[in-house]
Amino acid sequence: MLQDYKLGLRALLKFPGLTFAGGLALAIAIGVGAGWYDIWGKILSPTIPLPDGDRIVLIETQNTLTSRPELRIARDFLEWRRELKTIDDLGAYRTVARTLATSEAAPEPIQVAELTAAAFSTARVPPLLGRGLLASDETPGAPSVIVLGYGAWQRSFGGRQDVVGLVVNVGSTPATVIGVMPDGFAYPVKHEAWSPLQLRGSYGPLEGGAISVIGRLAAGVTRAQTDAELRVLAERAAAAFPSTHEHLQSRVAGPGEMRDVTGIAHLALTNVPVLLVLLIACMSVGTLVYARTATREGEIALRSALGASRGRIVAQMFAEALVLGGVAAIVGVTAAAFALRTWGMLFLETNMGRLPFWFDLSLSPRAFAGAIFLTVAGAAIAGIMPALKITRGMGHRLKQTTAGSGGLQFGGVWTVVIVAQVAATVMFPAVVYVEQSLLRGVQDFDPGFANEQYLAVQIERDYPIDGGANVDAATLERN
């Protein structure tokens, strides 16, 4: 077997032009394929980088009539908090946009998570300074307090160690800083500060503003068990409030898990260009390797005449393709890791907005596993399939071969096809580079006037969670 790989390396060096072109196409295909497979995995089923992060769950409620999420679930949350035995530290939160104003820095807009103390404690991450939120902080009438994220602390206070106890303005409300969270902490999603969510003692059906419910599975409990417990409570609520709860369904999901078919389909459509690049690269490699195998028909015929079996010849061609694929995989994965570090964050945030805190752009073991699979699959397609085709009927062709006959020759059409495929593959990195340059150009665009003297304001209606007004789901979704 080792001899096959040595012969494969020599054969590749014997055809440097085809080896370079095929290797480049394979490197692009493997690098793009492995990188995108890794990103897709992180989007569809993220890993939460918190202590026992796989135990953190959300309770999502869906209206089966409108196929929309129902967010006005304050009444249900209070019932779940009393009745659910399979979830620990069940809490609620909502995201609000606020302006953080201090006497030491310019005001800046930040995303604040208004949440209950139980929701804050589900992260199991201690503050860097001060303390986190307590149940007493969410009591109506309690003093306004705020926990700052590491970035907001650095920008607004320059990392002052005596920040705890200072008063800042969060929107129009003065609040006392009680703590600072460690760098990288943006729980539950991509938040920069945390303040108490103050709830009333009771709510009517679909009363109050929009909230999300988060908690931790109790020790030894599975999601299926929690779903079963939720179904019992849902049936009881539907019987008590048929006009509002008959078509509501609640289920357990992990943070960031994408289960919406429409969202997955949209994400798939945005990746069509990547699939086209992979297709072009595979076509290029297949054409090139078949061309190289076909032009070696005389060599293969000679080996067959000397007693080499068809399986032995096919194994040799596979070994050559595997050597080429291995080198291409190293180059492709290295390039993918560099591209993700250099351009990945810019590209994803331009298309998806600020990324959740759990999204890590470094390649995971899943990417390397994908690269190995693509390498072996590519070697099988580029090595075994052309070898099987060229060795079919080899014994009959040997009888018809004369001393002066040569291998298969490729005319002008084949040459144009090969050059076009390779050119399309090689263009991909150039297109990506130009796209990222344009994105950076947009960010660094000089408007031609003193834009720092102007301020853009986004006004959103903020529905108080303790308000009594009912708001329909469409209005909540627009806001």
Q: Does 49 sit behind a cis peptide bond, omega within 30 degrees of 0 on the bond before it?
A: no
* Residue that wins the pLDDT comparison between 412 and 46: 46
Q: How far apart are CA 220 and CA 165, in angstroms?
A: 40
Q: Model confidence over 30-77: pLDDT tens digits?
A: 887 777 777 777 777 788 999 999 999 999 999 988 888 999 999 999
Provide, rounded to the nearest whole percent, the portion of the chain with pLDDT above 90. 38
End-to-end Cα separation, the chain, in angstroms: 64
Q: How far apart are CA 476 and CA 211, in angstroms?
A: 11
| 209 touches 72 (CB < 8 A) | yes
Distances in whole angstroms, Cα of residue 95 to Cα of each of 91, 441, 454: 14, 31, 27
- CB-based contacts of 237-240 (< 8 A; 24+ apart in sequence): 237/76, 237/79
What pLDDT score was predicted for residue 332? Answer: 85
What pLDDT score was predicted for residue 210? Answer: 93
| 104 touches 115 (CB < 8 A) | no
455 pLDDT above the threshold of 60? yes
* Residue that wins the pLDDT comparison between 94 and 476: 94
Confidence bin at 126 (pLDDT 50/70/90)? very high
Q: How far apart are CA 191 and CA 335, in angstroms?
A: 32
Q: Model confidence over 164-175: pLDDT tens digits?
A: 999 999 988 999
What pLDDT score was predicted for residue 472? Answer: 39
Q: Which of 11-15, 183-187, 432-436 has the highest mean pLDDT?
A: 183-187
Least confident of 148-162, 214-228, 251-265, 306-320: 251-265
What pLDDT score was predicted for residue 473? Answer: 38
What pLDDT score was predicted for residue 479? Answer: 36
271 pLDDT above the threshold of 80? no
Mean pLDDT computed over 333-352: 74
What pLDDT score was predicted for residue 59? Answer: 95
Least confident of 35-39, 51-55, 106-110, 130-134: 35-39
What pLDDT score was predicted for residue 410? Answer: 46
Q: How far apart are CA 111 and CA 152, in angstroms?
A: 10
Least confident of 76-90, 204-218, 253-267: 253-267
Q: Between 365-379 and 16-44, two packed helices, what is the crossing angle to 10 degrees? A: 140
Mean pLDDT computed over 199-205: 91
Least confident of 182-191, 195-204, 249-258, 402-411: 402-411
146 pLDDT above the threshold of 90? yes
Q: Model confidence over 11-25: pLDDT tens digits?
A: 666 666 666 766 777
**What mean pLDDT, rounded, does the chain reach?**
77
> What's the burial of 84, exposed, middle or buried (CB within 10 Å: 0-12/13-18/19+)?
middle
| 45 touches 264 (CB < 8 A) | no
Least confident of 203-207, 268-272, 466-470: 466-470
Mean pLDDT computed over 229-245: 94
Mean pLDDT computed over 195-210: 92
